[in-house]
Amino acid sequence: GPGFMLYSSCTVFGRFLFQPPLVELANARTVQPVEVFFMPTTQERFWKKVNKTAGCWLWTASKTLRGYGQFAIAGRNRGAHLWAYEFCVGDVKKGLELDHLCRVRHCVNPDHLEAVTHRENVRRGDLGKINAIKTRCPRGHEYNGKNTYHAKTGRVCRICMAAFARGYRRTT
């Protein structure tokens, strides 16, 4: 009859996956060849999903709903731009995040990324620019030195805050 071979569990050596023979069963006439599978490295998997243009290096695989590239490592998604920065430049220091200087969210070119504070990242972004040019609160009160309180979340109109506080006290 045909020969059979038992295999031990797979073992990874560098970039290749080997299945070494464990035992040959009775009546086996020839030794079966060991099958070798190519296992791409994390770097090979990553760069295969990047389209390097003259400026931006565009992520062509999975993206978040906000347009940022995402890359799965060990079953968990990470920001593709973060992985590229850490691979090419180094770790992002605690308390900092990456700002896309090119404003293209799926760009992974480390030359287009800068580690900045969250506040700076928001200030540089489109929403930060839109809010910075506003001179009045949503109810029409002027943002000025006397009427403006600077909270962690942004500017707050003191007139609106006082009106909210008066209404809140009446209901409690």
- Torsion angle of C-alpha atoms 91, 124, 106, 73, degrees rounded to 10: 30
Q: For residue range 110-133, what is the model confidence (pLDDT) as tens digits?
A: 999 999 998 888 888 776 667 777
Q: Round to whole Å and give the CA distance between 158 and 102.
A: 36
Q: How confident is the model at residue 12 (pLDDT cuts 50, 70, 90)?
A: very low
Q: For residue range 43-97, what is the model confidence (pLDDT) as tens digits?
A: 999 999 999 999 999 999 999 998 999 999 988 999 999 999 999 999 999 999 9
Alpha helices in 64-157 (DSSP H): 80-88, 118-124, 126-132
Nearest to 59 by CA among 117, 15, 116, 100: 100
Averaged confidence pLDDT in the chain: 80
Q: What angle do CA 112, 113, 119 make, to 5 degrees?
A: 130
Mean pLDDT of 154-169: 83
pTM more than 0.85: no
Of 113 and 6, the one with more pLDDT: 113
